[in-house]
Structure 1
Amino acid sequence: MASHSGAGTIVSNPRHGRLRRSSAWGNALRVLLTTVIVVAMSGVATAAYSVWGLYNGMQTIDLGDAGDLADAVGFGADEIEGELTVLLVGTDSRAGQSLDDGETGELNDVNLLLHVSADHQRATVVSLPRDLMVPVPSCPGPNGEPEYYSAMSEQQLNSTLSIGGLPCVVATVSELTGMDIPYAAMITFDGVIRMSNALGGVDVCLTEPIVDEYTDLNLPAGVNNLVGLEALQFLRTRHGVGDGGDTSRISNQQVFMSALVRQLKSSSTLSDPIKVYGLAKVGVENMTLSSNMATTGFMQAVASIVRDIDIDSINFVQYPSNAHPYAPGRLTPNLAAAQTLFDVLKSGQAFDVTAVGEGVAEVPEDPAADPNAVQDPNAPAETEPADPNAPVKLPPAITGQRADNETCSQGRTVL
């Protein structure tokens, strides 16, 4: 954590010079985070609820003013009224974990914003790149002291956990997105391999082989069943996909996440209480929750909200960004595109993502369709009026995919 000195002065964290470190475990947390979401979506909640009862002594944290936006949900609650927004943070801390590679400190290398629309018809997971350079507001202290950490004009997003803990990450993401975030969870890396093994692997499509000496990953083209260490290597690879950057890695991870959702929705996993119990148990044992989430009632209410959301109404999108103008390898927010995205989320409108990320290929719905077919220039123009209820088309600066759209990783596309 950044140290506090005098009247709100921030002493620079000595680890900031090494923020580009990429842990296989830290990046692989998206498996765990997504599975926790999907377990809630299953509607097979009895086994999962019993886990929360067993672990009523689990770690919690007070979010301060942000957490005051929502009261704790009591036992037996039928649902949470209105929209649901939860920030899911993956920490790379080694404290108390089985991995001991000499690294110290704590970074929020995974930042996922889950938003369920007020009518409970749509769920969106927004991935925020760890390399974003963003303003950091004043953050509360370790005992809830207001404005304990001074505001900063620009810091890398994944440094905010070390600056002021989970409440500071919540405050930073809330200010960046304009979204109220009353709930947050933080997850460690110890459960990732166990989670992957419990699922029996995830089938992921590759149009080209992926070879990455940095992660020791070597996968052939075709469908690969990724489990255990290989799943972690796939999720952490950056040099093996797209243009080798953070945004390409996120897009590659969205290929995995959407495949995971489709697999869970279509398999017997979520209809088997023992498997659901095991998945939920792994998650609970490795989580810290905001205090207003740590109730059986909250889990019941979340399951009630999301269990009936159709898979074609679940979207994974990436927070839009551009190359930073003066910090090589860093990103700066694309504020105009981001405003469009979060305006749509707040409105509750259905939307379509119009562009996949770098290094991702869409699988045609009709395998016989010719991707190079040319439209007839003499064909009559469409004269039907636009449907006011049609989904909003997001600009191509906002990449991602719907969970029901099958995509493939193309490996490295830019050398």
Structure 2
Amino acid sequence: MDEMPTRAQARAQEKSAGPSVARHGRLKRHNPFRTIAALLVSVLAVAGISTAGVAAYAAFDVATSLKPAVKLVDSKGKVVTPGVGAMDGAFNVLLAGSDSGGGNASYGDRGENLNDVTMLLHVSADHKNATVISFPRDMYVAIPSCPDPKGGSYDAMSRQKINNSLSYGGLACTVLTVEKLTGLDIPYAGVIEFDGVIEMSNAVGGVPVCVAGDIYDPYTGLSVKAGDNTLQGPMALAFLRTRHGVGDGSDLGRISNQQVFLSSLVRTIKSADTLANPVKVYGLAKAATSNIALSESLNNPTTIVSMAMALKNIDISKVVFVQYPNHYEGDGVAPTKDAADTLMQALKDGKSVTLTGDTGVGSEAAPSATQAPAAGATQPPAAGSTTAPADGSSVELPSDVHGQTAAQVTCSKPFQD
């Protein structure tokens, strides 16, 4: 197995051979996978607790399960102090998923700590829209100067794959990198641990997903048949990890495949069967907080509950999963600037975004184009697209930007050469 280049070696590569050598193609490595579902689930779950006795016990027990907080810093290296009343208005939460194995020997020892999953949750100031942005792991970006957890700091780098940021300066470096890329302030963040995916899927009794054809991936152990499947435990984890089994075998296909799972998970969590069941709600909150290392700004139940209150009434048709605009370049991808600027400006202006393209290479609309009902909607939009309001409150994204809403029912596409 190739070793990850040191910081100095990476800088030397920039000056000589250009982009660093891709690690994406090593098929036999184990890539433990995490998902932003953990935070989204936890805040929704805490808000949904309906029985006073369960709520009181859950609040105490969940609080005691929080992991040691991670310090975030600003661009000058100054520690960010948690603010008061930060849930007023818009807010951003970054979730990084490390491929280190989380200390569980059964997942293998990678000897590296890369953020193979990087997602940003943006909630609008009026708390009517939530946008979840997935950043491709092989996307070339600028990494700013980051603090070294052992002391001192790392130099800025002009062009490295975004999944290197966690190894250079921990969660704080990933946050700084995404802030530089997007222009958004990100005061809340967490690193998701491996077993959380299994525990979350178990807590809701499994997540139903549609598969357009049989999928088999020997590298993750995934084996599902065409049609509807309810996934939990190790199989849910394998589904989220797979890329060789879906789409074109790339990380971009894996992102759209994840969105099939995440959109279904949101629908499952928001269903009466989950929110009316205190045992499921408590299990969700416990699974999330037990498997996320949170930033200091997010490491208290009060903040999580404040987020939950902002999220719990958002209609699932207003929860948009979007792949950060990109295009293939060399052995990876690069940001598509115009489309990315359109997306980020819409969020900064407090507007929702409307998807006009398809769901991505790893998924497709369900055969019946089924939509989960949106509150107050007279006619649901077609699967694979959304409809922009006529009042100009939403910004249409270019057709080459991929994603879906949580209301859209989609199916994973098997790998095709």
Q: Give the C-alpha shift of residue 128 in structure 1.
A: 0.5
Q: Which residue of 2 aligns with 1:154?
A: 159
Q: How far apart are residue 271 of structure 1 and its match?
A: 2.4
The reply on whether 1:231 has 2:236 as its aligned counterpart is: yes
Q: Report if the CA contact (8 A) 2:363-2:413 is conserved.
A: yes
Over 3 Å counting, the alpha-carbon distance change for 1:354 and 1:100 in structure 2 is closer
Provide the secondary structure at the position in 2 that maps to 1:59. coil
Q: Residue type matched to 1:49 in 2? A: A
The equivalent position to 1:339 in structure 2, one of 333, 338, 341, is 341
Alpha-carbon distance, 1:47 to partner = 5.4
- TM-score, L = length of structure 1: 0.83
CA contact (8 A) 2:197 2:236 kept: no
Counterpart CA distance in 1 for 2:34 and 2:102 is 17
Q: Tell me which of 406, 410, 414 is aligned to 2:413.
A: 410
Q: Which has the larger radius of gyration?
A: 1
Counting only pairs closer than 5 Å after superposition, residues 212-361 of structure 1 correspond to structure 2 as 212-324=217-329, 327-328=330-331, 330-355=332-357, 356-361=359-364
- 1:237-276 deviation per Cα after TM superposition (whole angstroms, max 9, x unaligned): 2122111111111001101100111112124222222222
Change (3 A) 1:47 1:319: farther
Looking at structure 1, the residues matched to 172 and 290 of structure 2 have their Cα atoms a distance apart, in angstroms, of 21
State the Cα deviation string for residues 365-404 of structure 1 (Å, max 9, x = none): 59xxxxxxxxxxxxxxxxxxx9334632211121111101
5+ unaligned residues in a row in structure 2: which ranges?
14-19, 372-388
Equivalent residues in 2 for 1:166-185 (5 A)?
166-185=171-190
Q: Distance in 2 between matches of 1:169 and 1:31?
A: 18
| Offset at residue 184 of structure 1 (A) | 0.9
Letter in 1 for 2:70: I
Matched residue SS, 1:322: strand
Give the 5 Å matches for 1:361-400.
361-363=364-366, 364-365=369-370, 387-389=390-392, 391-400=394-403
Question: What letter is aligned with 2:292?
Answer: M
Task: Decide whether the 8 Å contact of 1:40 with 1:307 is kept in 2.
Answer: no
Residue 65 of structure 2 corresponds to residue 55 of structure 1: yes
Higher mean C-alpha displacement, 340-349 vs 26-35: 26-35
Provide the C-alpha distance between the structure 1 equivalents of 2:105 and 2:42, rounded to a whole number of angstroms.
21
Match of 2:103, SS? coil
Query: Aligned in 2, Cα 1:25/1:270: closer, same or farther, shift over 3 Å?
Result: farther
Tell whether the 8 Å contact from 2:326 to 2:333 is kept in structure 1 after alignment. yes
Corresponding residue of 1:112: 119
Q: Aligned ranges for residues 177-216 of structure 1 at < 5 Å?
A: 177-216=182-221
Question: Closer, same or farther in 2 for the Cα pair 1:106/1:24, shift >3 Å?
Answer: same
Total equivalences in the alignment: 382
Deviation at 1:293, TM superposition (A): 1.2
Shift of 1:294: 1.1
Q: Give, in angstroms, the shift of residue 24 of structure 1.
A: 6.2
Check the 8 A contact 1:40/1:302 in 2, yes or no: no
1: CA distance, partners of 2:274 / 2:256: 25
Identical columns (%): 42
Q: C-alpha separation between the residues in 2 aligned to 1:211 and 1:194? A: 23
Provide the C-alpha distance between the structure 2 equivalents of 1:391 and 1:100, rounded to a whole number of angstroms: 43
**1:380 alignment counterpart:** none
Please, what is the CA RMSD of the aligned residues? Answer: 2.9
**Matches of 2:362 and 2:63, distance apart in 1:** 43
- The residue matched to 1:99 in structure 2 has which SS? helix
| Aligned mate of 1:136, from 133, 143, 165 | 143
Residue 143 of structure 1 and its aligned partner are, at CA, apart by 6.1
Query: Distance in 1 between the 2:208 and 2:411 partners?
Result: 11
Q: Which amino acid aligns with 2:338?
A: A
**TM-score, with length taken from structure 2:** 0.82
> Structure 1 residue aligned with 2:97, among 79, 90, 94?
90
Letter matched to residue 404 of structure 1: A
Unmatched segments (≥5 aa) in structure 1: 367-385
1:72 aligns with 2:96: no
Offset, 1:150: 0.5
Which structure has more relative contact order (CA 8 Å, sep 6+)? It is 1
**Preserved CA contact (<8 Å) 1:93 1:105:** yes
Partner of 1:378: none
Counterparts of 2:218 and 2:103 in 1: how far apart (Å)?
29
1:35–1:132: structure 2 CA closer, same or farther, 3 Å change rule?
A: same
In 1, Cα distance between equivalents of 2:130 and 2:294: 20
Q: Would the aligned equivalents of 2:42 and 2:285 in 1 still touch at CA under 8 Å?
A: yes
Moved more, 303-312 or 40-49: 40-49
Shift of 1:212: 2.6
Cα distance in structure 2, aligned partners of 1:113 and 1:142 = 23
